[in-house]
Amino acid sequence: MEFLKQKGEAPKRVKEYLMHLKTQDRKPKAIHVDRGKEFVNDDLKTWCQEQGIEIHMTAPYSPSQNGVAEWMNR
């Protein structure tokens, strides 16, 4: 596990992780993200669409939908 140095690395790391899952015979069908600009961009949307992966986004201004991550940040 590595930390990101910049937010711009997020799409690359998400793609790497999803490809890692595919090599482990786990086929992701969807990812659930908040509406941060690091995830909601044309590059990641296009790549996910080509791979057949849906992107589910939380409702705006609703940290309760982010689950464990927001619970841990309290």
Q: Tally the domains of the chain.
A: 1
Q: What is the pLDDT of residues 43-57, one digit of tens each?
A: 999 999 999 999 998
Considering the entire predicted model, what is its pTM? 0.73
Q: What is the band of 38 on the pLDDT scale with cuts at 50, 70, 90?
A: confident
Residue 8 in any domain: the answer is: no
Residue 12 in any domain: the answer is: no
Residue 71 in any domain: the answer is: yes
What residue numbers bound the domain in which 63 lies? 28-74
Rounded Cα distance between 28 and 10, Å, is 17
Residue 36 in any domain: the answer is: yes
Which residues neighbour 5 within 8 Å (Cβ) at sequence distance 6 or greater?
none
Residue 10 in any domain: the answer is: no
Residue 11 in any domain: the answer is: no
Mean pLDDT of 45-73: 78
Residue 9 in any domain: the answer is: no
